[in-house]
Amino acid sequence: MTPIPENQQQALVSRLMSACGGAYSPATRRRYFISGPQWAAAYPGHALFHAPTRPEIGFEDVIRKYADIGIGYWSTHDTDVIPTEALGKDAQWEVVGRINKFLTENDVKCSMVTAETFHHAVWAAGPAAESPGVREYAKFRVRNTVEIGHELGAHFAVYWPGSLGYFVQGAVEETESLRWYAQAINAACEHDIEVARTKGRNTLKHCLEAKPFEPQAEILLPTSDAMLAFIASGLLTHPEMVGLNPEYLHELMWGVAPRAALARALLAGKLFHFDINDGYRLKHDVDIGIGLVNPLDWLNVLVLLRSHSYNGPFNLDYKPPRTTSQFGVFEVSFPTAVDRFITLWELAGEVISDPIVKEATDALKAGGPMVDVLDAEALTRAHRELLSLHELIAHRIFQILIGAHRGRVIG
């Protein structure tokens, strides 16, 4: 094997990317409600045990690159783009003005804003800490983020209360912390109503995002279901304004079916926003690009969402791997993540309209001949052969995933 000189490596990556083919055009990509987070593109590859592998980059580069790729929407934490000490001050509005200009110039829209309430040392005891001062600061942060969201034209605000919990038991009383957390969400919604009225805009959709572990050891709202219960608990003054931003991997992390978690959110009318990525069960938040680990599961997830006409954002909340260079982030990582999503979304449409899946599903719902419903043996016999369709449908979906339904055979 001949070593590849440093100055030829980018060209090699680009050549192999075009050899892969199958890419959508930027114009096609823009037709989907796909949003690119500031923090995902700017992630320099650091973690608790990892030094950064890429330089830090600002919103200017991220927005420009998203525009080139065809990612039409952008999302951000307040402190991804505004230094903590500038929040709420004139300097903040100066940055927001520059962002707006950049977005317009690149024809990218801000879809979502979120307050960082987990990283800074002020959140050591979480956003609903015992200290009234910290809780007032949390309210300021979410209200301020609502204002930034309106100014940037966003329609969604996300809250990931990852630091709402503890490492050691004893100090935190859960009911008290949850009440305090609700007060922050109430402050955001109440302020939103005022700001929206002043600006003549609709209020934002406020979306809670769960993660079962990380960064706290024990999390008070670890799952989307816990959050549905929280929304319905009576603690919120505007529960109608609050829904969910499930993240695919966050549901998988606690070992269950993300599709079932999404189904419960749909039934509750609370599936507002969706963070898309991939990873493994019962592992930490590895935030891999969509479809690289569980493409079949993803296809099934999108079948559910398509058949329920979900029309909210698909937010690319993943982390380009540490092995990917800064060049690779925009040359390989984002375009391929977008294209895998679009491919899976279109395949989901094929599953929904597939005549075999349809006939098999209808047959299952029609059931076998009517027999005495109190006779378990007769009922079993009446359906025995039909039930093979469960596996047949799963096989058909696999065929659609790999293109065998269009005659692709291997070997």
CB under 6 A: which stretch of 14-22, 87-95, 155-163, 168-176 binds ligand XLS?
155-163
Identified binder of ligand XLS from the candidate list 317, 331, 339, 354, rule CB under 6 A: 317
What count of residues does the chain have?
Answer: 411
If phi > 0 it is left, if psi is from -120 to 50 it is alpha, else beta; for residue 153 that is left
- Per partner kind, with CB cut-offs from 5 to 8 A, the member of Mg ion, ligand XLS, none near residue 158 is ligand XLS
Query: Please, what is the Cα angle at 275 between 16 and 78, to 5 degrees?
Result: 105
The Cα 400–Cα 321 span in angstroms is: 28
Q: Is 251 in the site for Mg ion (CB under 5 A)?
A: no
Tokens of 340: 């895998």
| Residue 241 beta carbon to Mg ion: minimum distance, rounded to whole angstroms | 20
Identified binder of Mg ion from the candidate list 116, 225, 251, 275, rule CB under 5 A: 275
Q: How many CB atoms lie within 10 A of CB 339?
A: 20
Q: Is 211 in the site for ligand XLS (CB under 6 A)?
A: yes
The Cα 335–Cα 290 span in angstroms is: 11
Identified binder of Mg ion from the candidate list 116, 151, 192, 247, rule CB under 5 A: 247
Phi, psi angles (nearest 5°) of residue 191: -65, -40
Pattern 242-261, binding to ligand XLS, x per CB under 6 A? -----x--------------
Bridge partners, residue 208, by sequence: 159, 244
Q: Is 151 in the site for Mg ion (CB under 5 A)?
A: no
Pattern 279-298, binding to Mg ion, x per CB under 5 A? ------x-x-----------
The Cα 246–Cα 381 span in angstroms is: 41
Query: Please, what is the Cα angle at 84 between 78 and 88, to 5 degrees?
Result: 75
Q: Is 116 in the site for Mg ion (CB under 5 A)?
A: no
- Per partner kind, with CB cut-offs from 5 to 8 A, the member of ligand XLS, Mg ion, none near residue 303 is none
Q: Is 278 in the site for Mg ion (CB under 5 A)?
A: no
The Cα 69–Cα 342 span in angstroms is: 13
Q: Is 177 in the site for ligand XLS (CB under 6 A)?
A: no
Beta carbon nearer to ligand XLS, 241 or 276: 276
Q: Is 317 in the site for Mg ion (CB under 5 A)?
A: yes
Positive or negative, the CA dihedral 325, 331, 332, 336 is: positive
Pattern 20-39, binding to ligand XLS, x per CB under 6 A? --------------------
The Cα 151–Cα 157 span in angstroms is: 13
Identified binder of ligand XLS from the candidate list 275, 278, 339, 354, rule CB under 6 A: 275
Tokens of 348: 């989901």
Strands (E) across 85-225 are located at 109-114, 156-159, 165-166, 205-208, 218-219
Q: Which residues bind Mg ion (CB under 5 A)?
A: 247, 249, 275, 285, 287, 317
Q: Which residues bind ligand XLS (CB under 6 A)?
A: 77, 114, 158, 160, 162, 209, 211, 247, 275, 285, 317
